[in-house]
Amino acid sequence: MEASPIDIVIFAPLAPILGVILFWFIQLVIIESEKFLLSKIRPKHEPFCKFTNFLGILFQTVCHALGFTVTKSGISDFYISVDYGRVAPKKEKKGIFEWISNAFLFIGPFFIPALLLLICLYFLMNGGFEIATPSQLLELRYTFGEQITTFGASLLAFSNSFFTFLINIDLLHPAHFGFLLLMIFLGMGMRPSYIGKEKHERVDMLYDLKNIGTLILYKPIYPIILFVMAYIFFYISFWLGQNWYVALFAILGWLSIISIVSIVIADMILLLIRTTDEIPGKWKVFPYTIMPVSYVLARILFFYIPTDFTKPASILILILSTIIVTYVLLKRKSNRFKTERDIKQLKKKSKGEKDE
């Protein structure tokens, strides 16, 4: 099948761009689920919610500072608190430099923090970083269909290796355990829930889209220049017969996947916190205690009974034991608490009737 010149020249470069935008939009939607769960536990866990907000503002402020560094504006002032962050440049630069700094502020937090995890994965994960090559058998090289296929294949290869690593993660290994903590911090602080010292301005999906829309419409010529540069880079890759163009956007896709998984893990933790809040008394701490205990016991068991699935099985035992213990406590303790409360109410009622 002969490739259309129009497809190669116009439509093919759009494929990886649209792929990255799709994953970034999924990332935005999942962030909203996290903020919903944070709002549900906020009345009982205000300090914890403030900490997650601090993480979000920290990532945002660091990205803005990195923007000033890249544009060689320098940094004269760096301030961060639980609900507010500010970076002041040494040199006020306008035009393209100001636009790039704002791009780091509004778009950077979605990709730059995940880059740290990607660097860690490079040393911890076996494979998954290869960029798929276009199929010569289909004779569709550098068309829209082949570019989106190559982009998707690269993301699939990375995702398979990434999920294999997570399933087989060794929580007794310092590097693996540190990576997991870093993932949780990233997931919890992907975006702040609010900003502002005095008046708290809520940060949600519409807030982010509005800022990015303003960034694009403020100087439309700059996004157009970037768009043209992307096309030129595609043509250079096409002329040299390389996959550099797809590789660039595949890396951005990897960052989105890492961010999405980090947020999902954070959502699971928030869901556990919200569920254990329903358990009365000190028993609500027991599910958190059973997690390390069950994992260590499982590892000891599989040390004496070797198996090829020691690490995944230990993770599975940790998850199942936490779910079972939480469910049992939620049912038994909650019912007991309700029964004791009803008995007290009946006693008060009967005592009041006797007094009459």
d(CA 2, CA 354): 96
Residue 5 has pLDDT above 80, yes or no: no
Q: What is the pLDDT confidence band of residue 314, given thresholds at 50, 70 and 90? A: very high
Which residues does 353 contact at the CB level (< 8 Å), separation at least 6?
none
Confidence of residue 352 (pLDDT cuts 50, 70, 90): low
The number of beta carbons lying within 10 Å of the beta carbon of residue 335 is 10
pLDDT at 280: 81
Least confident range from 3-12, 102-111, 211-220, 330-339: namely 330-339
**% of the chain exceeding 90 in pLDDT:** 51
Say how far apart CA 127 and CA 129 lie, in whole Å.
Answer: 6
- For residues 77 and 86, the answer to whether their CB atoms sit within 8 Å is yes
Please provide the size of the chain in residues: 356
pLDDT at 337: 52
pLDDT of 299 strictly over 60: yes
* pLDDT tens-digit map of 121-177: 999 998 888 876 654 434 445 778 788 888 888 999 999 999 999 999 999 999 999
d(CA 86, CA 328): 47
Q: Which of 247, 255, 257 is nearest to 115 (CA)?
A: 255
* Confidence at residue 138, expressed as pLDDT on a 0 to 100 scale: 43
Angle at alpha carbon of residue 195, lines to 93 and 219, rounded to 5°? 35
User: 90: Cβ–Cβ under 8 A, 6 or more apart, which residues?
Assistant: 73, 74, 75, 76
Question: Which residues is 77 bridged to in the sheet?
Answer: 88
Q: Which residues of 75-106 are buried (b: 16+ CB within 10 A; e: fewer)?
A: eeeeebeebbbebebeeebeeebbbbbbbbbb
Residues 64-120 pLDDT 10s = 999 999 998 889 889 998 888 889 998 888 888 889 998 998 899 999 999 999 999
Cα torsion through 269, 271, 274, 280, rounded to 10: -80
Q: 35-51 burial, b for 16+ CB within 10 Å, e for fewer?
A: bebbeebeeebeeebbe
**pLDDT tens track for 210-243:** 989 998 888 889 999 999 999 999 888 888 877 8
| Mean model confidence pLDDT for the chain | 86
Q: How far apart are CA 232 and CA 48, in angstroms?
A: 47
Confidence (pLDDT) at 350 = 55
Q: Where are the domains of the chain?
A: 5-272, 281-355
